[in-house]
Structure 1
C-alpha cells in the first residue's frame, strides 16, 4: 500500500524545509561552543520547544499508540504524563545545575571527582545516547516505509541520513530551530487525527461499547507500580540526560531555563493521552472486522501510521506523517548532538588534544556526529524490539548509577571520589545485568529503582568509608574535590 502523491508531496516539502533550516543554522556555527551550546542564547520559547520536541518522539507517539492498542489501553498516556512531572521537577533543579558552568554532565564529575569518574560517566552516558538515537531512526523508518511502500531497512537508511545530515551541519542551533517547528507540527498533526478516527469507528460511545471497560481506565492497564516506576525513571534519567541538560546549559539565563522547562511540561500534559486514544480507535476498528494496514504483516508498532492511512484524507494524512517524521527526527537529532558533545568535550579535548582550537573542535564535532549517526542507523537496521522497551532500558541504564552522585553532589559536600565511582558502577550494573537476564527483581517492573537504592548506599557508604583524603590509588584524581564552585 503506497499513499497518494499528495501525501508524498507534503512530507517531501517538510523534509526539504528541515534541511533548509539546518543549512541556514550552519552559518552561525563556527566553534565547538556554537555547535554544542548554540552560543548560550536560547530563550524560554526556544527552551520549551526544543525540550518538548526532544521527547515527543517515536516512543511518545507511535510507541504510546502501540501500547494502547495492546496491554495498556488509555492508561498508556501515563508514559507521556509522567514526563510532564519530571520536567516540573527539572524546572526547579535547572538553576542549580547551570551554576556549575559546565558543558556536559560528565564534565561536572571531572571537576568534582577526577579522571576515573569523568571517563566512567562519559561512557555510561554515551552508550544509551546511541541506542536512543537508533530508536528514533527506527520510528522514522516505519513511517517512511508506509508512505513510499519501500522496505523498512531502506527507509531507515534514508531517514537516518536526513537526521544525521542536518544535525552535522548546524549542531544545537540547527536542532533548536528545527525542534521549534517540529514541536508545533507534531502536536497539531496528532491532535487533528482524533476526530477523524472517532468518526470512522462510530464515536467514543461505540468504542466504549465494543472494547473491554478496563481499556478506558486511566490506571488499570498500566498499573500504579508502572506509573511510579516511570516517574522515577524520567526524573532520574532526564536529570542526568545530556540531551536535556545541554538545553539548560545553553539557556540565556536561569529564568529562561526554568520557564522553558515548565512550558515543555505543559505540552506533555496536554499531549499525553492523544496517541492513546488513537490506539484505542484502531483497536475498535479491528474489532469491527476491519484490517489495520501493516499490523498483521509487520507488528503492532505500525498501528498508528497504518490506521491513519484508513481514516484520514490525503492532506491531513500528509500533515500527520510530516508530524510523525517531526517527532522522531527531533528526538534523533537531539540525541546525536548530545552524544557527539560527550565524545569531543569529555574525551577528545580532555585526553587526546587539550590544545585544539575552537574551530578544530567545531569541525571534529561534526565528524563525530556523523560517525555516531551511522552507528545508530546500523543498530536500527537490525532492531527486533518494541520502541518503548528500548527507550526505557536506555533511560534506566544511565539514571540508575549517575543520578544519585550527580544531584547529590549539588546539595551535599561530603561525597567522595570512591563513593561516586562505586555508585555509578553499581547502579548501572544492576540495569545492565537485568537486561541480560542475569538477575531479576520480581515485583519491580523497572530495575532502575533497585539500581538507585544500591547507588545511594554505595555513594553514602563509600564516601564515609573512603573520604577524599584517603582515596585509594585506583581512583586517579585530578584537581580538588572540595572546589566549592563545582559543587555549589
Structure 2
C-alpha cells in the first residue's frame, strides 16, 4: 500500500514539475519536439507494454509455456523494430503532429480522410482505456484496495499529471514505470524459478529448449497476436506522437530500436513467470494463476514488487491513450477540420481543449470500467475499421510514390466496406484485420495507376 501511495505521489509531482514546460498545445502533445533519447525510448516501449503484454503474457505462459507467454511482448518489440524504418521519415515532416497530418501532407487536403480517422480512432482508444482501467482495478485489489476506489484513485492520479504536463509528464512517468518493470520483473522471475527447483539456471535451460511453436495452433496464435501489433502501430496516434517528440529524425529511429530491445528483454521474465505459475497450479484456470501466485506463493515483498510492475505497465498505456485523444480533438477536429486556416499554436484555446480531452478520456474510461464493462466487447468490435482501413493510405503511401489521393480515398471506402462485412459475419475469410488491409492495398494500387496525382 505504501509503495503504491509513494508511486502515485511521484507521478503527481512529475505533473506539476513539468507543467512549466507546457506553454502551447504543441508542447502538450509532442513535448516541444525535445524529449531526451532515453526518455523517448522508454515512452515508446512503455506505450506498447501494457496490461495485455504482462497480464495476458502470464496467462498464455501458464497455459502453454515460456515462449507462448512471450508472444505478445515479442510482437510489441517487433512493432518497434518495424517502426524504426518509418520513424525517421515521419519525424522529418516537421509540420506534422498526428497521423492524419501525414495523410494530408502526402495526398493533399481531404476532409473525408481526416474525418474518417477522427470518427473511428476514438472508439478504439476508449475501448483500450476501459480495459486498462479494469485491469488496474482488478490488480489493485491484491493490495487490499476495493476495485471501485482503485479505479477512481488511479484515474485521478493519471489525470493530474497528464492534464498538467501533457507529453512531458506522460514520458517521464513512463520512464519510471518502465524502470520499475525492468528492475522488478527479472527479480520476480528468478524467485519464481527457485520455487520449483534449487537450480534456477538449469530450470531456465530446460524451458528454453521447448519449441517456439509448441502446439498445432501456436503459429496461428503467434501471427494473430503479432500482426495487429506490428501493422497497427505504424500509424497509431501513440507511436506517431512519439516520433514527433524526438529532436531529430535520427533519434526517432534510435529510440524505436532501443525500445524494441527493452521489450525483448522484458519478454523473458514474463514468459518465465507464466510458465512457472502454470506448473505450480496446473489444475486452475490460467486467469487465476497470476492472483494465486501473488496471494499464496511468492514472498510478500516479491508480491508487492510484482504488483507494482503490473500497475506501472497498465498506467503507461492509459496515459498514452489520453494524449492520443487530445491530439484528435485539438489538432484534427478543432484545428484542421474547424479552423484549417489558422496555425495550431496561434488558435485560441487549443491547449485548454487538449487538456480537457485528455481528462475526459480517462473519465469515460473509468465510467466504462465501473459501470459499463459489458460495453467493451462492443467498443472493440469495430477495430478492423481502424487498423484494417487506415493501413493502405498510410503505409502504401509512405513506401510508394505513385499513390494518389483518389487511390487513398477509394482504398478507405473499399476496406471499410470489407471490414464492416466481416464485422457483421457476411465475410468471414481468414483474419478480420488482413481482409481490409489486402482489399485496401489492392484498391490503392489499381485506382492510383489510373488516376493522376492531384
The 2-side partners of 1:447 and 1:83 are apart by: 20
**Which consecutive residues of structure 1, in runs of 5 or more, have no partner in the other structure?**
1-7, 469-480, 482-488
Q: Identify if the C-alpha distance between structure 1 residues 47 and 428 changes in structure 2 by more than 3 Å, giving closer, same or farther.
A: farther
**Counterpart pick for 2:402 among 386, 404, 414:** 414
1:217 correspondence with 2:211? yes
Q: Identify if the C-alpha distance between structure 1 residues 237 and 392 changes in structure 2 by more than 3 Å, giving closer, same or farther.
A: farther
Alpha-carbon contact 1:75-1:217 (below 8 Å) kept: no
1:50 correspondence with 2:39? no
Cα deviations by residue, 1:428-469 (Å, 9 ceiling, x for unpaired): 45445544544322xx3x32222211111121223234445x
The 2-side partners of 1:333 and 1:279 are apart by: 26
Residue 486 of structure 1 is matched in structure 2 by none
Q: Identify if the C-alpha distance between structure 1 residues 71 and 447 changes in structure 2 by more than 3 Å, giving closer, same or farther.
A: farther
Q: Identify if the C-alpha distance between structure 1 residues 344 and 14 changes in structure 2 by more than 3 Å, giving closer, same or farther.
A: same
1:304 correspondence with 2:300? no
Kindly tell me the number of residue pairs found equivalent between the two proteins.
Answer: 444
Alpha-carbon contact 1:59-1:391 (below 8 Å) kept: no
Residue 25 of structure 1 is matched in structure 2 by 18
Please provide the CA RMSD for this pair. 3.0
The 2-side partners of 1:17 and 1:178 are apart by: 9
Residue 311 of structure 2 is matched in structure 1 by 325
Residue 253 of structure 1 is matched in structure 2 by 248
The 2-side partners of 1:45 and 1:391 are apart by: 34
Residue 367 of structure 1 is matched in structure 2 by 356
Residue 156 of structure 1: how far off its partner (Å): 2.6
Residue 423 of structure 1 is matched in structure 2 by 411
Alpha-carbon contact 2:388-2:434 (below 8 Å) kept: yes
Q: Identify if the C-alpha distance between structure 1 residues 217 and 435 changes in structure 2 by more than 3 Å, giving closer, same or farther.
A: farther
Residue 27 of structure 1: how far off its partner (Å): 1.7
Stretch moving more, 36-45 or 76-85: 76-85
* 3-state SS of paired residue (1:240): coil
Residue 286 of structure 1: how far off its partner (Å): 1.7
**Counterpart pick for 1:403 among 368, 391, 402:** 391
Stretch moving more, 328-337 or 391-400: 391-400
The 2-side partners of 1:329 and 1:269 are apart by: 20
Alpha-carbon contact 1:11-1:318 (below 8 Å) kept: no
Q: Identify if the C-alpha distance between structure 1 residues 174 and 123 changes in structure 2 by more than 3 Å, giving closer, same or farther.
A: same
Residue 442 of structure 2 is matched in structure 1 by 457
Q: Identify if the C-alpha distance between structure 1 residues 423 and 302 changes in structure 2 by more than 3 Å, giving closer, same or farther.
A: farther
Alignment of 1:123-142 (within 5 A): 123-142=119-138
The 2-side partners of 1:390 and 1:272 are apart by: 30
Q: Identify if the C-alpha distance between structure 1 residues 314 and 39 changes in structure 2 by more than 3 Å, giving closer, same or farther.
A: same
Q: Identify if the C-alpha distance between structure 1 residues 322 and 450 changes in structure 2 by more than 3 Å, giving closer, same or farther.
A: same
The 2-side partners of 1:214 and 1:430 are apart by: 41
Alpha-carbon contact 1:236-1:403 (below 8 Å) kept: yes
Alpha-carbon contact 2:389-2:416 (below 8 Å) kept: yes
The 2-side partners of 1:215 and 1:385 are apart by: 42
Residue 395 of structure 1: how far off its partner (Å): 6.7
Cα deviations by residue, 1:324-378 (Å, 9 ceiling, x for unpaired): 1110001110111012111110001123345574562111110111112222222
Q: Identify if the C-alpha distance between structure 1 residues 76 and 320 changes in structure 2 by more than 3 Å, giving closer, same or farther.
A: closer
The 2-side partners of 1:391 and 1:187 are apart by: 32
Stretch moving more, 392-401 or 120-129: 392-401
Cα deviations by residue, 1:376-413 (Å, 9 ceiling, x for unpaired): 22233333599xx9999787552211122112222333
- TM-score using structure 2 length: 0.88
**Counterpart pick for 1:95 among 79, 83, 88:** 88
Alignment of 1:222-301 (within 5 A): 223-287=218-282, 300-301=286-287
**Counterpart pick for 1:168 among 159, 163, 178:** 163
Cα deviations by residue, 1:97-134 (Å, 9 ceiling, x for unpaired): 12322000012223424111111123233321222222
**Counterpart pick for 1:118 among 114, 119, 134:** 114
The 2-side partners of 1:159 and 1:224 are apart by: 37
1:145 correspondence with 2:141? yes
Residue 9 of structure 2 is matched in structure 1 by 16
Stretch moving more, 161-170 or 36-45: 161-170
Alpha-carbon contact 1:229-1:449 (below 8 Å) kept: no
Residue 367 of structure 2 is matched in structure 1 by 378
Cα deviations by residue, 1:219-238 (Å, 9 ceiling, x for unpaired): 12452233234443222211
Residue 278 of structure 1: how far off its partner (Å): 1.4
Q: Identify if the C-alpha distance between structure 1 residues 303 and 161 changes in structure 2 by more than 3 Å, giving closer, same or farther.
A: farther
Q: Identify if the C-alpha distance between structure 1 residues 86 and 369 changes in structure 2 by more than 3 Å, giving closer, same or farther.
A: same
Residue 155 of structure 1 is matched in structure 2 by 150
Cα deviations by residue, 1:12-64 (Å, 9 ceiling, x for unpaired): 11111111111211121121010011010023212211001111110110111
The 2-side partners of 1:385 and 1:320 are apart by: 29
Q: Identify if the C-alpha distance between structure 1 residues 279 and 408 changes in structure 2 by more than 3 Å, giving closer, same or farther.
A: same
